[in-house]
Each structure stands twice: as structure tokens, then as C-alpha cells.
């Protein structure tokens, strides 16, 4: 017999894999150096390396489903609100660019306001002369397309 092997080594390993070490094999492992080492290493691996049974179990399917729904909802909200964020950023950029211009030119503001009001007074306020067939057709088409797109957006929800 080789000092690094034992004839009952395979039996001890099979019993340890099953989780039950019979008294006979336990007594043998007490006197056999090779089998004793196998038992010690197996106990260390089970206690230190192998995860506890609670960590091995997958979570409940309902919990996984709720998490997936929550993530999907958050992604949908982020995608839906992206145009709002873009518009908000564009507004802030425009305000940041125009604010110094408005602050640095207060003396010229009265002249363009008076010019604008003079132009408003000269405009004829009658809509009938300006309402040509092309403008009316464009307005009706626009209203139709706005209604259709609103229906499409509401239908998606």
C-alpha cells in the first residue's frame, strides 16, 4: 500500500459527497492518515468555501417579476421624459446666452419696443382678407394632423 493512497479512499469520498459518513468509515478515517486528511479538507471546504444553502436558493419568482417590472417602468419613464430634459437643457442654454445680451443692452431696449408697437398699429386686424384658400386648407390640415397625432400618442398608453 502506497503511503499517499488508501484502498478505502474512494468509499470515504463517496460517503462525504452523499453527506453521510458511516461509523465504520469514520473509525477508519480516525486511524488512516490519508482518509483523515480527506475528511478534514472536505469539512473545511464545506464550511469555508461552499456557500450556505440560503445563498444558493434563487429568489422568489414574484420578487424577480416585480423588480423587472420596476426596471422596465423606470426605463420607459426615462425614455418618455428625454425630450423634456432636452428642451429644458436647450432653454437653459438659450437663457444663459441671451441673459448677458439683455443685461448689457438696456439703453437700446426702448427703441425696439416703440418700433414694434408702431408696426402692430399699422397691421390690419381683419382676418377675412388674409384668409385665402391655401391658408384655410393648411389650417384645416394642421388641425387634422394634430388630432390624429394626439390620438396616436394616447392610444400608445
* Within-domain flag for 121: no
Of 12 and 123, the one with more pLDDT: 12
pLDDT in tens, 71-121: 999 999 999 999 888 888 998 898 888 888 777 765 555 666 666 666 666
Reply yes or no on whether the pLDDT at 45 is more than 80: no
pLDDT in tens, 16-40: 877 777 888 888 888 888 888 888 8
* Within-domain flag for 44: yes
* Within-domain flag for 132: no
The total of structural domains in the chain comes to 2
Domain that holds residue 83: 58-103
* Pair 84, 97 in one domain: yes
The pLDDT assigned to 76 comes to 94
**SS3 category, 139:** helix
Count of residues making up the chain: 157
pTM strictly above 0.75: no
Amino acid at each position: 500500500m502506497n503511503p499517499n493512497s488508501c484502498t478505502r479512499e474512494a468509499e470515504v469520498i463517496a460517503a462525504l459527497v452523499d453527506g453521510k459518513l458511516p461509523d465504520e468509515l469514520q473509525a477508519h478515517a480516525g486511524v488512516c492518515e490519508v482518509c483523515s486528511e480527506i475528511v478534514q479538507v472536505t469539512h473545511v471546504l464545506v464550511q469555508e468555501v461552499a456557500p450556505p444553502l440560503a445563498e444558493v436558493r434563487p429568489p422568489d419568482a414574484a420578487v424577480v417579476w416585480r423588480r423587472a417590472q420596476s426596471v422596465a417602468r423606470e426605463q420607459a419613464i426615462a425614455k418618455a421624459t428625454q425630450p423634456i430634459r432636452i428642451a429644458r437643457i436647450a432653454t437653459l442654454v438659450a437663457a444663459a446666452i441671451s441673459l448677458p445680451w439683455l443685461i448689457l443692452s438696456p439703453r437700446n431696449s426702448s427703441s425696439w419696443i416703440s418700433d414694434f408697437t408702431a408696426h402692430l398699429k399699422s397691421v390690419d386686424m381683419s382676418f377675412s382678407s388674409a384668409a385665402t384658400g391655401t391658408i384655410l386648407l393648411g389650417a384645416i390640415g394642421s388641425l387634422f394632423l394634430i388630432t390624429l397625432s394626439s390620438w396616436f400618442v394616447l392610444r400608445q398608453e
